[in-house]
Structure 1
């Protein structure tokens, strides 16, 4: 496998491939929690509700915010927004915690690390967020921000930076070599929630994808093979920083394995290796948001983060055009990131939205462009591996990525972006009384043909949304 165009082709679903026998080894079911042996643990204050409305927050994502140090309560809210437990249900006789961030198969292949300084209640250091009891585990004590600046190629003015990693084997337990796609989407979901929280309290926020992978992995004590960094979040705009090489902390506490038997997927490990960066020789292109503030009433973001679920019980009832416009505009038109937004292309399959014809639409420069008229709900359901709820959605948003080359870093950024925008759709829909559900499984080549995409443009994600 020479690049990520080839990876994407290798992991495509076809009518034949999804019907091959596939058995799950329940004796090797992955733990959704990573625990460290003997690491000092600090309980965070409970998640505290705040009043900022969701739609207003999403419209402001790319506007400038304040650059200030975070309090322990704000760090607690940030960690909970990204990876907190919002609901507990019984699963095979055991309590199972569903997270604020959606994940394919509820396998939660992500982990959250926090660099913290100047917070009186806890020591400066590198922390791992523990969703099991909403605490942080101290991995290494001290101020590591100078080293972090070197790893992220970014000067840091604030006192808290979040790093998102993936333990891809959790997802590969079920999804095998396609799992890397889901890990990237889930990283996008998670960083999107963090961005939304920071903007809701008027702090700046930027999702970072450009950094020195091996240095960052070493700095947080992960091996770069079974677990590796995918994204970071800083409460500011990044300024390029070169820095000097550093020695990472000498020792980290040992972590317990999340599977009884390790799972190795050569295609995923190769795709990740091909995506790594070793230097700061790049330019960060940051998007600029237009100050658009429509009058709309939506639920507070703090309530939506707790309520959000993947909802499939669509009724098919018509929705007003203004509601459709609010969801699409607030969710899809800008995301504060360093990868040169937008990396993805957007197509909307629309059914029963008042004021516009049913059909397939593209989005160009923030405007809808009708590509084909008609109700294509049944076709979309078939293309989504026969998931019937897709046919009842008012809107199916299809994210595609154009492989101008097979560059794995740009591919990584594109799929993370699709996940981030998809999570915005979850939040906006939930806040306005609609439902949303992400879909990572579809017939790749048939969907490409259905949309009449060029040879090297392929789908990476679908999000269905509709009336409940």
Structure 2
């Protein structure tokens, strides 16, 4: 399917919420019709059970591990290290492993539900490098993040591409957290031949690649494209196509990101405490309307200033609305600068589609961007959101992401012409 003329800006405009649009389409769904949230290859594929005493296995496992199971309204949910809008989990992880002892060189699907790697393609002189970093070979790991979009569009309809991309960014954040705990550097890559890779991985129109993370030794070596197209396996038990999402994805997949110099962040997390934070991370469901310390708020802002390890990026600016931070004037801030003072808790609650979380939090952070690549900007917003999750929980406060807001009214309140991509709430 050739790319359409739906730009990232046009897609974002077409999927805006307003008070009227939400009232006209409250978007109720029947939970009994929810598509499956786990992709499983046929039983005859070769599998490697993840052994957590093996450092390589542990590194891969912690990028997507199930950390808690619950039943809500008779529906079972398996919560993971990576958050997901509506706990729908559209993202899947594939990892190419090359040059690692006791592991066959190949492309593996991470089977999250069963804690195993499924070998879906054995390498010879070919691999993912030719799509992502032509002319080089990676001794180590190439993680691919994909989206099975119907898991999200089942509930969120046309706006679901936003959620898929934000979830992809969060999943990259989970990869980065596992890399940190295993003392490995990673590089995020957003600009590569996603459309060709979708075709050769056999995804048809039901799944798409959004981003990549590389960790390992980069060698100057020519690697050819996959010599065989992979058999198709659907990531849901049934599928309903959304042509608008498919067209929007295809066009935005071809947009080029801005460039920057690759730089690794420098964190100082205590390993055992940070591991427990990764394991225990949850989205808060309600706040007690208590204040947080100014040091806690500033700690989060400092985390956001750390470099994002990528050469392809989009700048994302942070506006915050402070409700309850000791020692700070309530109001709208850009960075640490007060833009306008006032108690805006009811206003932010309204703007976020009347969600109590946005009203009762200690502070809400809005991410805005004037991008050239929509996919990159949204994923970086999700990646930064994951930092806020882990940083907040690490210092003992709570957090949640919010993807639903009245777009134009939020822009007007923030006094910006840039698109609002995401919101994060923190507090107690």
TM-score normalised by L of structure 2: 0.90
**Paired position in structure 2 for 1:9:** 13
Distance in 2, Cα, partners of 1:306 & 1:292: 18
CA contact (8 A) 1:332 1:421 kept: no
**Paired position in structure 2 for 1:135:** 116
**Paired position in structure 2 for 1:227:** 207
Distance in 2, Cα, partners of 1:106 & 1:277: 29
**Paired position in structure 1 for 2:278:** 305
CA contact (8 A) 1:284 1:338 kept: yes
Q: Quick one: structure 1 residues 91 and 41, their matched pair in 2 at CA, closer, same or farther if it must change by over 3 Å?
A: farther
**Paired position in structure 1 for 2:23:** 19
Give, in angstroms, the shift of residue 269 of structure 1.
1.0
Unaligned runs of 5+ in 2: none
Distance in 1, Cα, partners of 2:299 & 2:29: 41
CA contact (8 A) 2:398 2:426 kept: yes
SS at match of 2:213: strand
Distance in 1, Cα, partners of 2:77 & 2:70: 5
RMSD: 2.6
Give, in angstroms, the shift of residue 461 of structure 1.
0.3
**Paired position in structure 2 for 1:63:** none
Q: Quick one: structure 1 residues 451 and 186, their matched pair in 2 at CA, closer, same or farther if it must change by over 3 Å?
A: same
Give, in angstroms, the shift of residue 243 of structure 1.
5.0
Q: Quick one: structure 1 residues 121 and 246, their matched pair in 2 at CA, closer, same or farther if it must change by over 3 Å?
A: closer
Give, in angstroms, the shift of residue 312 of structure 1.
3.1
Give, in angstroms, the shift of residue 157 of structure 1.
3.7
Aligned counterpart in structure 1 of residue 177 of structure 2, from 196, 213, 222: 196
Q: What per-residue deviation string (whole Å, max 9, x for no partner) do you get for residues 40-70 of structure 1? A: 1110013x6xxxxxxxxxxxxxxxxxxxxxx
CA contact (8 A) 1:218 1:248 kept: no
Distance in 2, Cα, partners of 1:35 & 1:206: 28
**Paired position in structure 2 for 1:152:** 132
Distance in 1, Cα, partners of 2:106 & 2:224: 19
Give, in angstroms, the shift of residue 216 of structure 1.
2.4
**Paired position in structure 1 for 2:242:** 265
Distance in 1, Cα, partners of 2:67 & 2:362: 27
Larger RCO (CA under 8 A, 6+ residues apart): 1
Aligned counterpart in structure 2 of residue 383 of structure 1, from 351, 362, 380: 351
**Paired position in structure 1 for 2:386:** 423
CA contact (8 A) 2:97 2:106 kept: yes
Q: Which residues of 2 match residues 331-410 of structure 1 at below 5 A?
A: 331-340=304-313, 342-363=314-335, 368-403=336-371, 407=372, 410=373
Aligned pairs, number? 421
**Paired position in structure 1 for 2:142:** 161
Q: Quick one: structure 1 residues 326 and 238, their matched pair in 2 at CA, closer, same or farther if it must change by over 3 Å?
A: farther
CA contact (8 A) 2:148 2:235 kept: no
SS at match of 1:86: strand
Q: Quick one: structure 1 residues 132 and 290, their matched pair in 2 at CA, closer, same or farther if it must change by over 3 Å?
A: closer
Distance in 2, Cα, partners of 1:417 & 1:282: 11
Q: Quick one: structure 1 residues 428 and 227, their matched pair in 2 at CA, closer, same or farther if it must change by over 3 Å?
A: same
Aligned counterpart in structure 2 of residue 40 of structure 1, from 36, 40, 46: 46
Give, in angstroms, the shift of residue 20 of structure 1.
2.2
Q: What per-residue deviation string (whole Å, max 9, x for no partner) do you get for residues 381-404 of structure 1? A: 11001111222211211001225x
SS at match of 2:48: strand
Distance in 2, Cα, partners of 1:157 & 1:139: 18
**Paired position in structure 2 for 1:443:** 406
Give, in angstroms, the shift of residue 324 of structure 1.
1.5
CA contact (8 A) 2:286 2:356 kept: no
**Paired position in structure 1 for 2:261:** 286
Distance in 1, Cα, partners of 2:108 & 2:364: 38
Distance in 1, Cα, partners of 2:293 & 2:270: 15
**Paired position in structure 2 for 1:66:** none
SS at match of 2:63: helix
**Paired position in structure 2 for 1:327:** 300
Give, in angstroms, the shift of residue 304 of structure 1.
1.1
Unaligned runs of 5+ in 1: 49-72
Aligned counterpart in structure 1 of residue 233 of structure 2, from 248, 255, 266: 255
CA contact (8 A) 1:205 1:237 kept: no
Q: Quick one: structure 1 residues 287 and 256, their matched pair in 2 at CA, closer, same or farther if it must change by over 3 Å?
A: closer
Give, in angstroms, the shift of residue 306 of structure 1.
1.3
Distance in 2, Cα, partners of 1:256 & 1:450: 42
Comparing 170-179 with 90-99, greater Cα deviation is found at 90-99
Distance in 1, Cα, partners of 2:271 & 2:323: 23
